[in-house]
Structure 1
Amino acid sequence: MVFSTLTLWPCAKQTTSPSSSADPFEPTPFHALLFGAPVKLLLYHTFHVLNSLRSAPIPSEPPIRVVCISDTHTHIPNDVPEGDILIHAGDMTNAGSVAEIQAQIDWLCSLPHREIVVISGNHDTYLDPRTRPSLSEEQRAGTLDWKRVHYLQHRRLSLTVAVGSSTLPPDADARTHLLANQRHRRIRIYGAPQIPACGPMSVHAFQYPRGRDAWSETVPEDVDILVTHTPPKHHLDLPLPDGMGCEHLMAEVKRVKPTLHVFGHVHWGAGQMVVWWDRTHEAYENGMSIKSKWSHGILNPRLWWNLVRVGYRGVRGLIWDKVWGGQGASTIMVNAAQMHGNTGKLGNAAQVVVI
């Protein structure tokens, strides 16, 4: 693994299929997708256009403002918005030494957020006992002081978050102010760092062979916020042509349906979207999972059928939303990567979600 001052690769380069770009962590050019996967390209944009027109999920009461960041890679962002909970979804560091991790912890603890939650990423080498020996003695020296940071490694956390304050007249006494401020909400968070392999197993932390199921029945069913380092398959993970996320994580998210799912790892996928657990999404997921080895999918009837289903079901869902005000089960998905692509420089804004 080589790091330079100009470029930071999230993992060692690899090729996932003949249709992929040379580096699967770089976006495939539009013209290559238009030639190599035209039906999937149409499916992807049809789904996302219809999905973007739907209303946002209605927050619970009292609403909680969650600030999401990831992939800071030893850098310190200049602008971290205020909020009730701050979540860092891994890759705090480059080399993963104790000193690098501690520097990030110290910075996180200096922020004003009421609660701070952190998981590991594949670059946070020291935190995985299997990859720790790859560090030099100097890099392993010392111990970590997590201070007020909640570090989750396959662990569930339950928080009682004090939210906001009521508007009171200037002459209100101290007891009235105290009572008015007592608005609390219980939030359950689960964090897990494992990712599909993308580099040497002895160096990159918490990896499992791509395609292996490392997720089924691992996430508690009552979780409000799920924090992982890898994205779910075909969601904010450079989904075209093949997607860099994990299909087994996608199935687990679908089973649990958390209110919020925060992740990072794929820098170019930064952003957020709402997944409505309906037949539109089912058709999108089915279509994106189809692999056509001939005719680039143009003659694949299953792919075209799922495209038609996305259009038909998506319009029905949009009408149900806008005319009848209907909202079903949903999950807000956030790729919170701060790194701008693989430039080695921060450039993506922190993601803010109200749940």
Structure 2
Amino acid sequence: MHLAFLNPFHDPTDEFEPTPFIRLLFCAPIKLLLHHAHHLIISLRSAPLPSQPAIRVVCISDTHTHTPANVPDGDILIHAGDLTNAGNVAEIQAQINWLAGLPHREVVVVAGNHDVFLDARTRSHLEERERSGQLDWKRVHYLQHRRLSLTIEVEGSHESGDDRTPLLVGQRQRRIRIYGAPQIPSFFTGKAGGVHAFMYPRGQNAWSETVPEDTDILVTHTPPKWHLDLELPLGLGCEHLLKEVRRVKPALHVFGHVHWGAGKTVVWWDKAHDAYVQGMAVQSKWTHGILNPRLWWSSVRVVYRGVRELLWDRVWGGKSSNTIMVNAAQVHGNTGKLGNPVQVVDI
């Protein structure tokens, strides 16, 4: 648990700071129960096995002009946006130069809300000298509502994420289809201030039927709602993106934006997850949800369905369709300094 959860002087007007645990216990006790029950059951399920030959994907995001010293090797490096702070040509080019110099076979980038120059709508807010010149993307694949198909030559062997035996020996090929999009739901800028790129009004559907159905890796800057996005009490991600991810079910979804949400999880597209989403979407203005039957029913369903899926997995070896979700933010919280680990996923 982040220490910020225990800070009684937490500023509730700052969307990007975690809500203190004590405040959540008072204001959203049933959702707190629902959230922890769901994540406990997920943690007990077996990890999905990668396809063969396995592709190693190294995930970073929200570097904000920093260059992490130790980026693990892999087949594909993905940067999920907010390369910069000011978003001008010089800052973006410096990040491109760094990424292009890394040893990964392929490098894929989407923009974030701080990368102002890359959004034609916000570029004019930069001073003329900050938006002059052109970007040289070198060997970096920049995706802005764009699909990319890569043929990856896999050599040697990759160890699986749970340190089991090597998944592959020799050299083989895999075709990987990636789709990237930068847009995020608007937020109260508050202390962040300034101009932010690629924003759309919160609640607006900017996602339905936009991601190709055969996508293997989805890269966005925003998280999907209630997944690695400071889920409690409201979540900062997009509910329409979540529906789109559920429709497509990519093997991997990489994003960033919410620094405190950094980490990795597996989303199983089953009825337990449906109950979790339905419960998290319930809004109770009175009694903090304690007397809300829909919220209690969702909690019961999460436990009942989740235990059934867990037994099906662990006892009978059954598997539901799933997506590995990664919040790859590198900056630790709102410190402005690097601190989160680089995420590595084999798919």
Runs of 4+ residues deviating >3 angstroms: 199-202
Secondary structure at 1:345's aligned position in 2?
Answer: coil
1: CA distance, partners of 2:112 / 2:13: 23
- Is residue 2:33 matched to residue 1:42? yes
- For the aligned residue pairs, the C-alpha RMSD in angstroms reads 1.6
Kindly state the Cα deviation for residue 202 of structure 1 after the two structures are TM-superposed.
8.4
- Is residue 2:209 matched to residue 1:220? no
1: CA distance, partners of 2:309 / 2:64: 40
TM-score by length of 2: 0.91
2: CA distance, partners of 1:199 / 1:96: 19
Q: Percent identity?
A: 72
Partner of 2:222: 230
Residues 74, 94 of structure 1: 8 Å contact kept: yes
Kindly state the Cα deviation for residue 142 of structure 1 after the two structures are TM-superposed.
1.3
Kindly state the Cα deviation for residue 73 of structure 1 after the two structures are TM-superposed.
0.2
Matches within 5 A, 1:183-202: 183-198=172-187
2: CA distance, partners of 1:266 / 1:163: 32
- Is residue 2:15 matched to residue 1:24? yes
Q: Counterpart amino acid of 1:238?
A: L
1: CA distance, partners of 2:22 / 2:156: 52
- Deviation string, structure 1 residues 210-231 (Cα, Å, up to 9, x no partner): 0100000000000000000000
Kindly state the Cα deviation for residue 43 of structure 1 after the two structures are TM-superposed.
0.2
Q: Give 5+ residue unaligned stretches, structure 2.
A: 1-10, 159-168
Q: Counterpart amino acid of 1:193?
A: P
Partner of 1:173: none
Residues 26, 268 of structure 1: 8 Å contact kept: yes
1: CA distance, partners of 2:187 / 2:97: 29
Residues 74, 93 of structure 1: 8 Å contact kept: yes
2: CA distance, partners of 1:49 / 1:163: 35
- Is residue 2:289 matched to residue 1:316? no
- Is residue 2:344 matched to residue 1:352? yes
Partner of 1:175: none
Q: Counterpart amino acid of 1:294?
A: W
TM-score by length of 1: 0.89
Secondary structure at 1:331's aligned position in 2?
Answer: strand
Residues 64, 354 of structure 1: 8 Å contact kept: yes
2: CA distance, partners of 1:202 / 1:73: 15
Partner of 2:116: 125
Secondary structure at 2:52's aligned position in 1?
Answer: coil
Q: Counterpart amino acid of 2:46?
A: S
2: CA distance, partners of 1:131 / 1:224: 31
Kindly state the Cα deviation for residue 203 of structure 1 after the two structures are TM-superposed.
1.9
Question: Residue 147 of structure 2: which of 141, 150, 156 is its match?
Answer: 156
- Alignment: residue pair count: 325
Secondary structure at 1:274's aligned position in 2?
Answer: strand
Kindly state the Cα deviation for residue 80 of structure 1 after the two structures are TM-superposed.
0.7
Residues 157, 190 of structure 1: 8 Å contact kept: yes
Residues 92, 104 of structure 1: 8 Å contact kept: yes
